[in-house]
Amino acid sequence: MIRRTLACMLTLGLVACATQPPSPSPSPQASGAPNKPVPGQKGPAEAAPEAAAATAAPVDLTPVPFEVARANFVRDTAQRYGIPAAQIEATLAQAQIRDPIIAAMSRPAERVKPWNEYRPMFISQSRIDGGRKFLAEHRDELTRVQQRTGVPAEVIVAIIGVETSYGRNTGSYRVLDALYTLAFKYPRSGDPAKLEREVRRELYFRDELARLFALTRDEKLDITAIKGSYAGAMGMGQFMPSSYQDFAVDGNGDGRRDLFNSYDDVFSSIANYFVKKGGWVRGGPVAVPATLAAGREEFNPTDWAPTWTLSALAQRGYQPSVSVPAGLTATPITLEGSAGKQYWLGFQNYYAITRYNLSKMYAMAVFQLSQAIAGQELPPA
C-alpha cells in the first residue's frame, strides 16, 4: 500500500526541482471533512495505469555522485526535521544496499492480467475463511472503528487480507535498507525514455527515507529494526513512512501510533486513510454491476474519480443492474471476465479504495473479498 507520488523536498538528493509542486497527499483535515475527488490525482500505488499529472514539476536528470547525494540527504534531513546530522550519518552507516531489492525493482513488468486471472490471486476460499475468522476475533475493535468512521469492518479486514494475509506476511526486509537502497541506487534501465520516471522514483524513495527518520523518532520506533516490504511499506496495512505520518491514528489512546502490534491503531489508521485520503462516504455503495447497451462504445476514463452522473452514463448506454440511490455520481468500470466483458459502476467508496492502490482490479478485489467475508455470494470472475 501506500506508496505516494513524489514531492520535491529541499535539495534532498539526486536532482533539484525547478518549482515546488503541491503536496502529493493532503494531510488529514482538522474538520474531518472528506477530501473531494480530484480527477487524475495520483495516489500511493507503486504501479498505476492512471495518467501522470500534467503539472508535475520538471527535474534535473544530470547524474549526481552517490557521495554527494548522500551528503545532501544528511544535511537536508537534519534541517528539515531537526535531527542531528551526526545521528543521521551514524544510522546510514548501518544501512545496506540490498541487491535483491534492486533486482526486484528491476524486474520487467508482467503482462496485465485480465480480471478472471487477477481475482484468484487475491480471493480464494482460504482467504475468505481467514477473513471471517479474523473479523470474528477482532469484532469489538472493528465495530468501534466502523461506528466512528463509517468504514465497514469487512472492508478494513479485506485490505489487511490482501496486503499481508491478515498480518502473517508483513515483509522481511529492514525498512531502513529498503529505502536506503531505492533512495540512492534506484535501478536504471538505460532507456532514455524511462530516465525521468526512474529519477522521480528515486527522489520519492529519498523523501520516504527522510520521513522514516522523523517517523521513528516521533513514534519511538527503532529505525534499524523495523521490517517491511522491499519497497519500504510497513505493518499490517503496509503504510509507507509518509502515509504513516499523515494518516496513522492512535486508536487505543496510549499516545503512540503502532501499526505493527496494535490492532486498534491498525484498524483506525486504515479507516482514517479511506476517509481523509479517499473521501469515504458513510453508508454509501462501493460498486454495482451494470449493463452496456448493445452497439454502444465502452467508456474508459483515465482515472476512477466518480464524476459522472447516472443520467450522463445512461446517455452513454450504461445502466446499473440493481437499484441505486438517486443523485449519486459514478465511474464506469470494464473488466475482462471469464465469460466476456463485465461492466460495473464504481461510486465514491470505490474511488476511496483506489487511493490505497491505484488499480481498478485491486479495488474490485478488495470490495468483492469484503462482500464474501460478510457472507455475500461472489459474482462470477
Model pLDDT for residues 246-283, shown as the tens digit of each residue: 999 999 999 999 999 999 999 999 999 999 999 999 99
pTM of the model: 0.85
What three-state secondary structure class fits 134?
helix
Q: What is the mean pLDDT of residues 111-140?
A: 96
Strand partners, 173: 228
pLDDT for 153? 98
**Whether pLDDT at 30 is above 80:** no
Lowest mean pLDDT: which of 48-62, 175-189, 191-205, 297-311? 48-62
pLDDT for 27? 28
Mean residue pLDDT across the chain? 87
Q: What is the mean pLDDT of residues 96-119?
A: 92
What three-state secondary structure class fits 276?
helix
The 10 Å CB-count burial string (b at 16+, else e) for 321-344 is eeeeeeebbbbbbbbebeeeebbb
pLDDT for 110? 75
Q: Note the pLDDT tens digit of each residue in 144-176.
A: 999 999 999 999 999 999 999 999 999 999 999
Give the distance between the most distant pair of CA atoms in the chain: 68
Nearest to 277 by CA among 29, 31, 3, 21: 29
Q: What is the mean pLDDT of residues 54-62?
A: 76
pLDDT band at 111 (very low <50, low <70, confident <90, very high): confident
**Whether pLDDT at 19 is above 80:** no
Residues assigned a catalytic role:
163
pLDDT band at 1 (very low <50, low <70, confident <90, very high): low
pLDDT band at 59 (very low <50, low <70, confident <90, very high): confident
pLDDT band at 180 (very low <50, low <70, confident <90, very high): very high
